[in-house]
């Protein structure tokens, strides 16, 4: 129990300090110490629940990074290192969120909207949606409305998921939803991301808003008939 909370705390600290792995020379005072990469692996080997590692380790650390950034006590380079550490840790969790289903329940086209480079939350959504048995086509970040439309043209059966982390770029969701609904009125669209709300989803004509990955999974599952 004590070991669990201490390793989760160390993982959170690695995210806060941007300590990716033992080989990383950054930050200089943590040189030759384990990073998020090794500690998440060790937490898994100790049998700690992957969801707990994600929530109480990785996401707890990233929450602090957000607060420090908002307070201008750290800046973009430090946040980038934190994101790198988060990514290194998340990779070890991917297999635990993977699905054992042989056939997919459906397809989700996922992307962060135009102008927005944040991808950690979107990738978590993708991981958990995949784990729930869906095929995920991740278009990446900074995705233009026409690229979402082209992706739906290639896979018209898809549900589209849009992510935005900035109050400025969430406005690009409106354009993306409008372009998608114009070209493919039947396509279901779900939106999410820290500044997004259910009221905003209604306002721009999206079909749903999800606050988190399980919310996205619930919506996706509600779009397919149960067998
Ligand atoms: Co930026 N950033 N950032 N940043 N960044 C925020 C978002 C900010 C809140 C920080 C702050 O001020 N406290 C602030 C936005 C303010 C605002 O608009 N209200 C901000 C800013 C201002 C900026 C820049 C403008 C800074 C600058 O350059 N001066 C710049 C913009 C760059 C751009 O996009 N054009 C910028 C850049 C960056 C980095 C590149 C350095 C880096 C991103 C690296 C990367 O993603 N690869 C970064 C980071 C890491 C953050 C914070 C610290 C962490 C974001 C994150 O990964 N959170 C963030 C502060 C914060 O959120 N605490 C901040 C963890 C992640 C698991 O949560 O992404 O919210 P989240 O995803 C959640 C839910 O939102 C939801 O599920 C996820 C899991 O629970 N969700 C969905 C997300 N998408 C969904 C889709 C769905 C459903 C649910 O359905 C489809």
Q: What is the pLDDT of residues 97-108, one digit of tens each?
A: 887 777 899 999
What are the domain boundaries of the chain?
A: 2-98, 107-226
pLDDT in tens, 120-136: 999 999 999 999 999 99
2 alpha carbon – ligand 1 mean position (Å) = 32
Q: Is 59 in the pocket of ligand 1 (CB under 6 A)?
A: yes
Cross-strand pairs, 83: none
How far apart CA 128 and CA 99 sit, in angstroms, is 9
pLDDT at 226 over 70: no
Nearest CA to ligand 1 atom 27: 76
Position 2 scores a pLDDT of 81
Q: Quote the CA–CA distance of 91 and 129 in Å, as a whole number.
A: 15
For a mutational test of ligand 1's pocket, the pick from 56, 61, 64, 66, i.e. the residue with the most ligand atoms closer than 8 A to its C-beta, is 66
Span 51-70, average pLDDT = 95
- From the CA of 195, give the closest atom in ligand 1: 19
Which CATH architecture does the domain made up of 2-98 adopt? Orthogonal Bundle (1.10)
Domain spanning 107-226: CATH superfamily:
Cobalamin-binding domain (3.40.50.280)
Q: How far apart are CA 138 and CA 108, in angstroms?
A: 8
Supply the pTM of this predicted model.
Answer: 0.94
Is the CB of 196 within 6 Å of ligand 1?
no
């Amino acid at each position: 129990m004590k070991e669990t909370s201490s390793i989760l705390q160390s993982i959170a600290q690695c995210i806060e300090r941007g300590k990716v792995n033992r080989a990383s020379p950054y930050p200089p005072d943590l040189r030759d110490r384990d990073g998020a990469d090794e500690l998440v692996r060790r937490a898994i080997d100790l049998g700690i629940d992957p969801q707990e590692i994600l929530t109480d380790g990785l996401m707890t650390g990233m929450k602090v990074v957000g607060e420090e950034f908002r307070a201008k006590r750290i800046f973009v380079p430090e946040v980038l290192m934190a994101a790198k550490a988060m990514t290194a840790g998340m990779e070890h969790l991917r297999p635990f969120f993977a699905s054992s289903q042989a056939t997919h329940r459906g397809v989700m086209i996922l992307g962060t909207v135009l102008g927005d480079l944040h991808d950690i939350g979107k990738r978590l959504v993708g991981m958990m949606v995949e784990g729930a048995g869906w095929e995920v086509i991740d278009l990446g970040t900074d995705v233009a409305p026409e690229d979402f439309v082209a992706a739906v043209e290639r896979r018209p059966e898809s549900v589209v998921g849009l992510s935005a982390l900035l109050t400025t770029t969430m406005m690009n969701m409106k354009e993306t939803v409008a372009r998608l609904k114009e070209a493919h009125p039947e396509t279901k669209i779900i939106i999410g991301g820290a500044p997004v709300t259910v009221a905003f989803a209604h306002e721009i004509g999206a079909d749903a808003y999800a606050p988190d990955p399980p919310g996205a999974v619930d919506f996706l599952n509600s779009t397919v008939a149960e067998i």
